């Protein structure tokens, strides 16, 4: 129990003097001057005074200790629009400092099963919508097998023999693979799709338990607040990931005004995609709009911003294979359809969103691929070192 909770639970101090009731609540605890006055009025005995003084000293000591501990704790807020890669970055932070336990790995099995079946059904649905045939006609029976699993809400369960056979049969179909390769960017099929399909033999084993790398590729909507804690260089870190969907943002913004820095993630590969919530708003435009709200919020006026320009692997692929430039999101862009120039323009758009007193706020940019463990590890080391130095400087210890 914290010192503040103890104070709330303490008994009210009540004194009667000259028929006037004087009440002190914990927040109004009498100071030494008041105690002397009360003693002169005959309201406190010396033994009571000593006991009260000892108790007050103990509480003040605890307050000082709590404050010192709080100064050693570095709080980071992980923000970004839905499906930008926040949860994957949070998993990378966790893996960087502490491996997943056996229980945690086992709990992720159902997510792998769910992601795998839904990804295959989604591919087949888009094939049907485009009248794109299977290599073999009997593949339709395999699709029906997977749809039955979804209808019975068994997609979180280990694969039965028939389910495993249907998945392997469909992924072995040349036309399924061709369709996925040609249309994955057009239909925004999740990047984990091929990863899990290429590991069907392993995933379909009865004793399958995902490893740390496989967990990085799982996807599940974040609702509420997820926290990861770890220690580096004697500093205690607390990282908070909150739900990114529009309807959840107003619930948490005021709760984190004391964070040391915000890691804001922007999926730059989404420059030609629309939001799942309304199908009209450009995903990258929405992400930058959220950044503008956060960086200019009165709660984060002095909070440093660390921006991860994420999903660079998919962005490079789109630049190389698609004729659609970032002018889809930014009509003013008339530069070349090249990676570096496009990234520089996106950075400039983000920096332009800072207004008023936040123009001198520190903003650090990093290009990331959230599933690239080695790359993210190096970036996190750099980010964490920067934050530790900044925190020591602010507290006068650097």
* CA gap 78, 355 in Å, rounded: 22
Collapsing DSSP states into helix, strand and coil, what is residue 39?
A: helix
The reply to whether 218 sits in an annotated binding site is: yes
The reply to whether 86 sits in an annotated binding site is: yes
The reply to whether 258 sits in an annotated binding site is: no
The reply to whether 238 sits in an annotated binding site is: no
The reply to whether 311 sits in an annotated binding site is: yes
Pairing of strands 13-17, 20-24: antiparallel
Q: Which residue has the tokens 């995902």?
A: 210
* Bridge partners (DSSP) listed for residue 23: 14
| Sheet arrangement for strand 304-310 | 225-232, 235-242, 73-80, 261-267, 304-310, 363-367
Collapsing DSSP states into helix, strand and coil, what is residue 380?
A: helix
**Are 33 and 92 contacting, i.e. CB atoms less than 8 angstroms apart?**
no
The reply to whether 85 sits in an annotated binding site is: yes
The reply to whether 138 sits in an annotated binding site is: no
The reply to whether 392 sits in an annotated binding site is: no
The reply to whether 370 sits in an annotated binding site is: yes
In 3D space, the residue among 359, 358, 333 whose CA is nearest the CA of residue 345 turns out to be 333
**Are 310 and 350 contacting, i.e. CB atoms less than 8 angstroms apart?**
no
The reply to whether 104 sits in an annotated binding site is: no
The reply to whether 219 sits in an annotated binding site is: yes
**Are 287 and 80 contacting, i.e. CB atoms less than 8 angstroms apart?**
yes
The reply to whether 325 sits in an annotated binding site is: no
Question: For the chain, what is the radius of gyration of the CA atoms?
Answer: 28
Collapsing DSSP states into helix, strand and coil, what is residue 364?
A: strand
The reply to whether 221 sits in an annotated binding site is: yes
First-last CA distance in the chain: 32
Active-site positions read 83, 88, 219, 241, 245
The reply to whether 242 sits in an annotated binding site is: yes
CB atoms within 10 A of CB 135: 12
Q: Which residues are annotated as a binding site for GTP?
A: 83-88, 216-222, 241-245, 310-313, 370
Q: Which residues are annotated as a binding site?
A: 83-88, 216-222, 241-245, 310-313, 370
Q: Which residues are annotated as a binding site for Mg(2+)?
A: 87, 222
């Amino acid at each position: 129990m914290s010192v503040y909770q103890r104070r709330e639970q303490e008994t009210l101090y009540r004194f009667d003097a000259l028929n006037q009731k004087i009440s002190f609540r914990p927040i109004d605890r009498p100071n030494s001057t008041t105690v002397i006055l009360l003693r002169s009025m005959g309201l406190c005995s010396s033994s009571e005074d000593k006991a009260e003084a000892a108790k007050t000293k103990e509480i003040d000591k605890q307050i000082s200790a709590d404050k010192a501990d709080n100064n050693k704790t570095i709080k980071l807020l992980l923000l970004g629009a839905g499906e930008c890669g926040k949860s994957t970055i949070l998993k990378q932070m966790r893996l960087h400092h502490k491996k997943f336990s056996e229980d945690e790995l086992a709990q992720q099995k159902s997510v792998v099963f769910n992601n795998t079946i839904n990804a295959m059904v989604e591919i087949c649905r888009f094939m049907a919508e485009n009248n794109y045939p299977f290599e073999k006609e009997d593949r339709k029976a395999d699709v029906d097998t997977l749809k039955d699993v979804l209808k019975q809400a068994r997609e979180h369960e280990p694969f039965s023999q028939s389910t495993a056979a249907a998945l392997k049969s469909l992924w072995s179909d040349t036309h399924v693979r061709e369709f996925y390769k040609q249309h994955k960017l057009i239909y925004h099929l999740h990047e984990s799709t091929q990863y899990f399909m290429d590991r069907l033999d392993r995933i379909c084993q009865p004793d399958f338990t995902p490893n740390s790398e496989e967990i990085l590729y799982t996807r599940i909507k974040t609702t509420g607040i997820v926290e990861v804690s770890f220690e580096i260089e004697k500093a205690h870190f607390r990282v908070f990931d909150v739900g990114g969907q529009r309807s959840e943002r107003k619930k948490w913004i005021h709760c984190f005004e004391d964070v040391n820095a915000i890691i804001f993630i922007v999926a730059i590969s989404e420059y030609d995609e629309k939001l799942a919530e309304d199908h009209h708003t450009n995903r990258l435009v929405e992400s930058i709009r959220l950044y503008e709200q956060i960086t200019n919020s009165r709660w984060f006026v002095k909070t440093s911003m660390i921006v991860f320009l994420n999903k660079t692997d998919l962005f490079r692929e789109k630049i190389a294979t698609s004729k659609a430039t970032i002018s889809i999101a930014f009509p003013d862009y008339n530069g070349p359809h090249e990676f570096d120039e496009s990234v520089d323009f996106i950075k400039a758009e983000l920096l332009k969103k800072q207004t008023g007193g936040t123009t001198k706020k520190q903003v650090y940019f990093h290009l990331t691929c959230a599933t690239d463990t080695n790359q993210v590890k190096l970036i996190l080391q750099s980010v964490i070192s920067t934050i530790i130095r900044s925190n020591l400087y602010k507290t006068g210890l650097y």
